[in-house]
Amino acid sequence: MAGGIVVSRNEMLKAFDETQAGVKGLIDSGVSKIPPIFVRPSNELAQELTYKTANQDDQVQIPIIDLSDFENPDRRKQIVEQVRVASETWGFFQVVNHGIPSNVSDAMIDGVKRFNEMDIEEKRKYYSRDSTRKVRFSSNHDLFTSKTANWRDTLTISSAVQVFKQELPNSCRESTVEYSKHVAVLGNAVMELLSEALGLEPGCLNSMECSKEHRITGHYYPACPEPELTLGTTMHSDIGFITLLLQNHISGLQVLHQDRWLDVEPIPGGLVVNIGDLLQLVSNGKFISSKHRVVANNIGPRISVACPFGNPSLVKSYSPITELTSEENPPRYREVVMGEYFHKFLNTGLDEYLGLDYYKL
């Protein structure tokens, strides 16, 4: 090679990974330009202009559903209907009065913030790309497989946090255990509403073990000096059945609806519910798993806690629910075995992962 030192993308990725300090480490070191590994290709940035952004006067917003008194039969009917419409047309809604006390949610956000902002030596103890570890911290789970890195760091905690409580970082131990208990209860309740909204028995999805476990992924999106060149999270749809997402007061999450990006604005006491690919599959396409992303922001940190619900068993398989198919409405997806499903997801960059396209009939 003629003169100069050419550093390959792979070498840059490795060097970034070896800092074990994530994107927060770059900010702490005072960068005023984002490193090339985070810059989206120019064709993608140009394509961005073809997406219309929702016009403020449109007043289009994802539905907000009030869950108060949802055990009351009359209220429940209304709620189930709202859940049905939201799941069929948006794949996204926010819930309020959902039963998770605000101090529990606030403490969860604070815990993720404290973890990310503690001493780097403490954080490094958790830095890992081993997906079998119950608690792991890293930047970009798909760092080495995606085309562009995202401007975010993530703390991932497996389910059953009560069982390995002592392994959780001090900075978020109590808050995670408490939040996990509450989010599990809400996840089951939402699954019952979704079952009814599909015209099935309330216990149907839970008895299929669709909400057998939830992971807790605490995302930390530091302020970005060049937000228009990168993303907080690449466009994707979620792989589980549903995701319950808690966000702090800084916006950034957008959902793609009829070819337009709509902001999912944080609302006080609100939690975002979104339908994942597996629920689209078992509902035979009745409920939609919408694409979404997080834009980078010059203010921060934005913090979110996403809890995807699913089944961790590698031998478990799912197909469209028989009651939801008929001669006129034949199965649209083939059976999916969880082992194969997870393997594909874990070995593909988020920007190239095709979601349900692999399973379409």
Nearer to ligand OGA, 175 or 284 (CB): 175
User: Residue 206 binds which one of ligand OGA, Ni ion, none, with CB within 5 to 8 A depending on kind?
Assistant: none
Rounded CA separation 69/78 (Å)? 11
Q: Are 360 and 330 in contact (CB under 8 A)?
A: no
**Is 196 an interacting residue with respect to Ni ion (CB under 5 A)?**
no
Rounded CA separation 209/341 (Å)? 16
Kindly state the smallest distance separating residue 57's Cβ from ligand OGA, in Å: 25
User: Residue 247 binds which one of Ni ion, ligand OGA, none, with CB within 5 to 8 A depending on kind?
Assistant: ligand OGA
User: Residue 208 binds which one of ligand OGA, Ni ion, none, with CB within 5 to 8 A depending on kind?
Assistant: none
Kindly state the smallest distance separating residue 199's Cβ from Ni ion, in Å: 27
User: Residue 304 binds which one of Ni ion, ligand OGA, none, with CB within 5 to 8 A depending on kind?
Assistant: ligand OGA
Report CA dihedral (84, 238, 279, 345) to the nearest 10 degrees. 170
**Is 238 an interacting residue with respect to ligand OGA (CB under 6 A)?**
yes
Kindly state the smallest distance separating residue 18's Cβ from ligand OGA, in Å: 25
Among 153, 192, 196, 238, binds Ni ion (CB under 5 A): 238
Among 294, 307, 336, 350, binds ligand OGA (CB under 6 A): 294
Rounded CA separation 299/351 (Å)? 25
| φ, ψ of residue 333 in degrees (nearest 5) | -130, 150
Rounded CA separation 283/69 (Å)? 27
Q: Are 207 and 188 in contact (CB under 8 A)?
A: no
Nearer to ligand OGA, 76 or 344 (CB): 344
Q: Which residues contact 169 (CB under 8 A, 6 or more apart)?
A: 115, 118, 122, 126, 135, 155
Stretch that binds ligand OGA, among 27-35, 79-87, 163-171, 242-250 (CB under 6 A): 242-250
Residues that bind ligand OGA (rule: CB under 6 A) add up to a total of 12
Which x/- pattern, by CB under 6 A, does the window 184-223 give for ligand OGA?
---------------------------------x-x----
Strand partners, 217: 156, 306
Nearer to ligand OGA, 136 or 292 (CB): 292
Among 214, 215, 286, 292, binds ligand OGA (CB under 6 A): 292
Rounded CA separation 301/97 (Å)? 26
**Is 112 an interacting residue with respect to ligand OGA (CB under 6 A)?**
no
Beta strand 92-96 with 64-66 is: parallel
Nearer to ligand OGA, 121 or 357 (CB): 357
User: Residue 253 binds which one of ligand OGA, Ni ion, none, with CB within 5 to 8 A depending on kind?
Assistant: ligand OGA
From 117, 111, 135, select the one nearest 21 (Cα to Cα). 117
Q: Which residues contact 43 (CB under 8 A, 6 or more apart)?
A: none
Nearer to ligand OGA, 110 or 202 (CB): 110
Report CA dihedral (12, 13, 14, 19) to the nearest 10 degrees. 90
Contact footprint for Ni ion (CB under 5 A): 238
Contact footprint for ligand OGA (CB under 6 A): 217, 219, 233, 238, 243, 245, 247, 253, 292, 294, 304, 306
